[in-house]
C-alpha cells in the first residue's frame, strides 16, 4: 500500500534498552524518522561485549564464539579463523531468492535487530550497532529477497542480507536520508548500488565482524515482527473504515440501525463488537434515508446477516487484532538471540528465536482479513441485485442492459476475496526440517507475514469497492439525504474525481482512487470530521 505522510508520527526515535513502540517502528520503517542509540544502550553493549571477549580467549568451546553453527556446533574454530567464521556465516546465509522485499519491511527488520542489539544481551560491539543506525539514517536499504526464511532460527536469510550490507557487501537501494521531507520520503528508494560504494558515499565505514557478531546479527524474529507491526497499524485503519463502508451499505440498502443498539450488543459482551456497533450508530446518525422507512408501514422484519451481523464480524476481527498486539508488544520487549548474555553475565543457548508466537498471530490476522473482506463483498453484491436492493436499478446501472454499472467491480471484489481465502490457509502449521535435522521444527513465520501483507492489501481493495458502490447507491436514493458522516465520504470521493451515477465509464481508475483513499485513512478521516474519533 502507498501511504500518505502521518503527521502524528515521531520524527526522531531513540533506541534504548527497553522496547520500541509500534508507532516508532512505523515512523522509521515508513516515514524516515531518524534513529539514535541511547547512552544507556551503548553502555550496556560495551559491558556485555567485554564478557564475549573474555570467552573468546577461553580454552573451553563456546557456541557461536569459538564453534561452528547449527549442525556444526560441535566443530571447534581456532582463534585465527574466528573473524572469517563470522564473515562466512553472513555470506552463506545471505541466500535469499525472488523479488525484492519492500523498503519499509527491510527498514523495520533492521530497526528491530538494532533494538535487540541495544538490550546488551547479544555481545556485539558498539560500532556494529551504530552502523545499523547509520544505514537507516542514510536511507540505505539492503536488498532482501522474498524467499529464504523458515522463521527458525528466526529470519536468518533476510537478516543476513542486512548484515551483509553493513559489511559493505551485497546490494542496497539508496533513498532519501532520515529527516527528508515526508513527500520526498514517500517516493521511496530507487538507485541500486553495491553496498561498498553506497557506504563510501554516505561516509559509513564497513564493519569488520568480530567474535559472535555475525550470529547476533542474523538470529532473530525481526522480519516477521516488523511485518506484524506494520500490518496491525494498517488493520487499525482498515477495520474502522470497514465500519464506515458497512454503515453506508446498511443505509443505502434501507437497513435498520436498531440492531446496533448498545443494550443489545451488551448481551454478548465482546469489546470489539461493542466498539463496531457504536461506530455504526454514530455513522448513521441523522440519516434521512434511514428515517424514511422507520414507520409501521415498513414490512421489513430482519436484515440479512451481512448487514445485521457487521459488528459481530468486524468486532471479532478487532479482538483478534488486540491479541496480536499483545503478542507484538511482548516480542518488541524481547531480546532474541542465541546464545544470549544474561544480566548476570552467563552466556547461554536457548530457543527464544523460534517464531511460533509471531507466526500464529500472523496467520490469525490473515483469517481476519479474509472474513471481513468476505462480508464486505456480500454487502456490495446486495446493491446489484434488484431482488435484494429495495428499489435501486439493476447493478446500479444508468441504463440497465446498455450499461453494466458496478457489475464487474463486484467481480473484482469476488476475485480478491477468493484469493484472501486461499491466503488464510495457515503457514505456521507447516514445518520442513533443515540443518541436518538440527532445526527439525520451524515456524514458517516469515511466510505467514508475507502472505498477510497481501491479505491486508486485498482487504483494502475490497472495502474500497464497497465504499464506491455504496456511495453510488446513496446518491441514487436522492432526494433523501444520507447521514452527515456517510455524506462526507461521498463528498470525498466526488472531490477526488470519482463521479456520481451516470452512464458507464472507465471504472478501474475510480476503484484505484477509492482504494488509495481507504488505505491512506482519508475515508475514515472524512467520517470522523463529523462523528468525532471512531474506535
Percent of the chain scoring above 70 in pLDDT: 95
Residue length, the chain?
535
Give the DSSP H/E element, type plus range, for residue 293: none
Residue 1 scores a pLDDT above 50: no
User: For residue 180, what pLDDT is reported?
Assistant: 82
Q: Per the structure block, which three cell numbers stand in for 155? A: 529470519
Question: Hey, what's the torsion of the CAs at 218, 224, 226, 232, to 10 degrees?
Answer: -170
Place of cell 476475485: 415
d(Cα 168, Cα 203) in Å, to the nearest integer? Answer: 12
d(Cα 66, Cα 50) in Å, to the nearest integer? Answer: 15
What is the tens place of the pLDDT at every residue in 3-25? 555 667 889 999 999 999 999 99
Percent of the chain scoring above 90 in pLDDT: 81
What is the tens place of the pLDDT at every residue in 350-372? 988 999 999 999 999 999 999 99
d(Cα 4, Cα 516) in Å, to the nearest integer? Answer: 9
63 is catalytic: yes
User: For residue 46, what pLDDT is reported?
Assistant: 96
Reference 254, options 221, 225, 294; nearest CA is: 294
Reference 26, options 136, 104, 115, 130; nearest CA is: 104
d(Cα 406, Cα 287) in Å, to the nearest integer? Answer: 24
Confidence bin at 169 (pLDDT 50/70/90): very high
Residue 245 scores a pLDDT above 80: yes
Residue 298 scores a pLDDT above 70: no
User: For residue 3, what pLDDT is reported?
Assistant: 54
* Dihedral of alpha carbons 396, 398, 399, 402, sign: negative
Q: Give whole-number Cα distances, 435 to 35, 159, 227, 440, in Å.
A: 35, 17, 26, 8
Catalytic residue among 63, 132, 506, 515: 63
Q: Would you list the DSSP string of 29-42?
A: HHH--EEEE-HHHH
Confidence bin at 178 (pLDDT 50/70/90): confident
Mean pLDDT lowest among 314-328, 430-444, 465-479: 430-444
Q: Work out the widest C-alpha separation in the chain, in whole angstroms.
A: 91
What is the tens place of the pLDDT at every residue in 479-531? 999 999 999 999 999 999 999 999 999 999 999 999 999 999 999 999 999 99
Arithmetic mean of pLDDT, 50-69: 78
Q: Would you list the DSSP string of 408-469?
A: HHHHHHHHHHHHHHHHTS-STT----BTTTTB-S---HHHHHHHHHHHHHHHHHHHHHHHHH
Arithmetic mean of pLDDT, 243-261: 97
Eight-class DSSP state of 526: H
Residue 297 scores a pLDDT above 60: no
Question: In whole numbers, what is the pLDDT of the chain averaged over residues?
Answer: 93
Arithmetic mean of pLDDT, 171-175: 95
Residue 2 scores a pLDDT above 50: no
Amino acid at each position: 500500500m502507498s501511504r500518505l505522510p502521518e503527521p502524528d508520527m515521531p520524527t526522531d526515535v531513540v533506541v534504548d534498552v527497553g522496547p520500541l513502540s509500534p508507532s516508532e517502528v512505523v515512523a522509521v520503517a515508513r516515514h524516515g524518522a531518524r534513529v539514535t542509540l541511547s547512552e544507556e544502550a551503548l553502555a550496556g553493549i560495551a559491558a556485555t561485549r567485554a564478557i564475549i571477549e573474555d570467552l573468546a580467549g577461553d580454552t573451553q568451546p563456546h557456541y557461536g564464539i569459538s564453534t561452528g553453527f547449527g549442525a556444526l556446533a560441535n566443530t571447534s574454530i581456532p582463534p585465527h579463523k574466528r573473524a572469517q567464521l563470522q564473515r562466512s556465516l553472513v555470506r552463506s546465509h545471505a541466500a535469499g531468492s525472488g523479488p525484492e522485499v519492500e523498503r519499509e519491511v527491510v527498514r523495520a527488520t533492521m530497526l528491530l535487530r538494532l533494538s535487540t542489539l541495544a538490550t546488551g544481551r547479544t555481545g556485539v560491539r558498539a560500532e556494529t550497532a551504530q552502523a545499523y543506525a547509520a544505514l537507516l539514517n542514510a536511507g540505505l536499504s539492503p536488498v532482501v529477497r522474498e524467499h529464504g526464511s523458515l522463521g527458525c532460527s528466526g529470519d536468518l536469510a533476510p537478516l543476513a542480507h542486512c548484515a551483509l550490507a553493513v559489511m559493505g557487501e551485497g546490494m542496497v537501494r539508496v533513498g532519501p536520508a532520515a529527516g527528508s521531507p515526508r513527500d520526498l520520503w514517500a517516493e521511496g528508494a530507487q538507485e541500486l548500488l553495491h553496498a561498498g560504494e553506497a557506504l563510501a558515499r554516505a561516509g559509513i565505514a564497513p564493519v569488520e565482524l568480530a567474535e559472535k557478531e555475525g550470529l547476533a546479527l542474523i538470529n532473530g524474529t525481526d522480519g516477521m515482527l516488523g511485518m506484524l507491526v506494520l500490518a496491525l497499524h494498517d488493520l487499525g485503519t482498515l477495520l474502522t473504515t470497514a465500519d464506515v463502508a458497512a454503515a453506508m451499505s446498511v443505509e443505502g440498502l434501507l437497513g435498520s440501525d436498531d440492531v446496533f443498539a448498545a443494550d443489545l450488543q451488551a448481551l454478548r459482551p465482546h469489546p470489539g463488537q461493542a466498539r463496531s456497533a457504536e461506530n455504526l450508530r454514530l455513522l448513521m446518525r441523522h440519516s434521512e434515508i434511514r428515517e424514511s422507512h422507520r414507520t409501521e408501514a415498513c414490512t421489513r422484519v430482519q436484515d440479512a446477516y451481512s448487514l445485521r451481523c457487521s459488528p459481530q464480524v468486524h468486532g471479532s476481527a478487532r479482538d483478534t487484532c488486540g491479541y496480536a498486539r499483545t503478542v507484538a508488544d511482548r516480542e518488541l520487549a524481547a531480546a532474541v538471540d542465541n546464545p544470549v548474555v544474561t544480566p548476570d553475565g552467563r552466556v547461554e543457548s536457548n530457543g527464544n528465536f523460534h517464531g511460533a508466537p509471531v507466526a500464529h498471530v500472523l496467520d490469525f490476522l490473515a483469517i481476519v482479513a479474509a472474513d471481513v473482506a468476505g462480508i464486505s463483498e456480500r454487502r456490495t453484491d446486495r446493491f446489484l441485485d434488484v431482488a435484494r436492493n429495495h428499489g435501486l436499478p439493476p447493478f446500479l446501472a444508468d441504463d440497465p442492459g446498455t450499461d453494466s454499472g458496478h457489475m464487474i467491480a463486484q467481480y473484482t471484489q469476488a476475485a480478491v476475496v477468493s484469493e484472501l481465502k486461499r491466503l488464510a490457509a495457515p503457514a505456521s502449521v507447516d514445518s520442513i526440517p533443515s540443518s541436518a535435522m538440527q532445526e527439525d521444527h520451524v515456524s514458517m513465520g516469515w511466510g505467514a507475514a508475507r502472505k498477510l501483507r497481501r491479505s491486508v492489501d486485498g482487504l483494502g481493495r475490497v472495502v474500497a469497492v464497497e465504499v464506491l458502490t455504496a456511495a453510488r447507491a446513496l446518491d441514487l436514493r436522492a432526494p433523501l439525504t444520507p447521514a452527515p458522516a456517510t455524506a462526507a465520504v461521498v463528498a470525498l470521493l466526488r472531490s477526488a474525481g470519482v463521479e456520481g451515477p451516470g452512464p458507464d465509464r472507465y471504472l478501474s481508475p475510480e476503484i484505484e482512487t477509492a482504494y488509495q483513499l481507504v488505505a491512506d485513512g482519508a475515508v475514515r478521516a472524512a467520517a470522523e470530521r463529523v462523528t468525532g474519533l471512531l474506535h
